[in-house]
Structure 1
Amino acid sequence: MTNFLISIVGPTAIGKTALSIKLANHFNAEIISADSRQFFKEMAIGTAVPFKEELEAATHYFIQNKSITDHYNVGDFEQEAITKIENLHHKNPVVVMVGGSGLYVKAVTKGLDYFPEIDPNIRTELNTQFENNGLSALQNQLQMLDPEAFKTIAIANPQRVIRALEICIGTGKPYSSFLTNSEKNRDFKTISIGLNAERSIIYDRINQRVDIMIENGLLEEVKSLLPYKHLNALNTVGYKELFNYFEGTWTLDFAISEIKKNTRRFAKRQLTWFKKDESITWFDFKTDINEIIEHIKTTIKIS
Structure 2
Amino acid sequence: MNPKPLVIILGATASGKTELALTLAQHHPSQLISVDSAQIYRHMDIGTAKPDRQTLQQHPHALIDLIEPEQTYSAAQFCRQAQQHIQQAHQHNRLPILVGGTMLYIHALLGGLDDLPPANPQIRAKIEAEIATIGLTAMHDKLAQYDPISAAKIAPTDRQRLIRLHELYQLTHTPPSQLFTQSPQPPNWHITAIGLYPERAVLHQRIKQRFHQMLKQGFIDEVAQLKARPNLSADHPSMRSVGYRQLWQYLEGQHSLNQAIELGIIATRQLAKRQITWMRNRLQIQLELPLIDPNQTNPLTHILNRLEFNK
Both structures adopt the same fold (TM-score exceeding 0.5): yes
Residue in structure 2 matched with residue 4 of structure 1 by the alignment: 5
Matches within 5 A, 1:123-202: 123-130=124-131, 135-153=136-154, 157-180=158-181, 182-202=183-203
Give runs of aligned pairs for residues 94-109 of structure 1, distance below 5 A: 94-109=95-110
In the alignment, the residues of structure 2 paired with residue 27 and residue 71 of structure 1 have an alpha-carbon distance, to the nearest angstrom, of: 34
Deviation string for 1:222-252 (max 9, x for gaps)? 1111141242221221111111111111111
Q: 1:280 — aligned with what?
A: 289
Matched, 1:233 2:238: yes
Distance 1:30 1:182 in 2: 27
Question: Separation in 2 of the partners of 1:96 and 1:290?
Answer: 13
- Identify unmatched segments of 5+ residues in structure 2: none
Q: In terms of mean alpha carbon deviation, does 122-131 or 70-79 score higher?
A: 122-131
Identify if the C-alpha distance between structure 1 residues 272 and 154 changes in structure 2 by more than 3 Å, giving closer, same or farther. Answer: farther
- Cα deviation for residue 60 of structure 1 reads 1.1
Letter of the 2:204 counterpart: Y
Say if 2:11 and 2:196, in contact at 8 Å, map to a contact too: yes
In the alignment, is residue 248 of structure 1 matched against residue 258 of structure 2?
no
Pairing partner for 1:295 from 273, 285, 305: 305
Query: Relative to structure 1, is the Cα distance of residues 11 and 284 closer, same or farther in structure 2, using a 3 angstrom cutoff?
Result: same
Partner deviation per Cα, 1:156-205 (whole Å, 9 max, x = no partner)? 54322211121223333321111116342304222211101111111111
Q: Residue 15 of structure 2 aligns with which residue?
A: 14
Instruction: Tell me the SS of whatever aligns to 2:302.
Output: helix
1:259 aligns with 2:264: yes
8 Å CA contact 1:32, 1:96 repeated in 2: yes
Alpha-carbon offset, residue 133 of structure 1? 6.5
Percent identity between matched residues is 33
| 1:32 and 2:33 correspond | yes
Aligned-partner SS, 1:297: helix
Q: Distance in 1 between matches of 2:150 and 2:172?
A: 15
Contact 1:2 1:93 in 2 (8 A): no
1:17 CA displacement: 0.3
CA shift for structure 1 position 64: 1.3
Query: What is the CA–CA distance in structure 1 between the aligned matches of 2:305 and 2:157, rounded to whole Å?
Result: 36
Distance 2:298 2:171 in 1: 50
1:188 counterpart letter in structure 2: W
Q: Distance in 1 between matches of 2:49 and 2:277?
A: 21
- Give the stretch that moved more between structures: 48-57 or 77-86: 48-57
Show the counterpart of 1:44: 45
* Residue type at the aligned position of 1:81: A
Counterparts of 1:85 and 1:290, CA distance in 2? 21
Cα RMSD for the two superposed structures = 2.3
TM-score under structure 1 length normalisation: 0.90
Unaligned runs of 5+ in 1: none
Indicate the SS of the match to 1:215: helix
Quote how far apart the aligned CAs of 1:67 are: 1.2
> Which moves more between the two structures, 171-180 or 259-268?
171-180
Q: How big is each residue's C-alpha offset from its partner over 1:20-71, in whole Å with a ceiling of 9 and x where there is no partner?
A: 1111221211100010100111211111101234323422111112211334
C-alpha spacing 1:245/1:168, structure 2 compared with 1 (3 Å): same
Alignment of 1:13-92 (within 5 A): 13-92=14-93
Task: Letter of the 1:60 partner, please give it.
Answer: H
Which region of structure 1 is more displaced relative to structure 2, 79-88 or 125-134? Answer: 125-134
Distance 1:53 1:133, change over 3 A: farther
CA distance 1:225–1:294, shift in 2 (3 Å): closer
Q: How has the CA–CA distance of structure 1 residues 131 and 42 changed in structure 2, closer, same or farther, with 3 Å as cutoff?
A: farther
CA separation of 1:12/1:260 partners in 2, compared to 1, >3 Å: closer, same or farther? same
Alpha carbons of structure 1 residues 218 and 181: separation in structure 2 relative to 1, 3 Å = farther
| Superposition deviation, residue 290 in structure 1 | 4.7
| 2:8/2:194 contact within 8 Å kept | yes
Separation of aligned partners in 2, 1:60 and 1:240: 26
Matched AA of 2:44: M
Q: 1:275 to 1:156 in 2, by over 3 A?
A: farther
Deviations 1:60-101 (A, max 9, x none): 111112211334222112111111211111012521000100
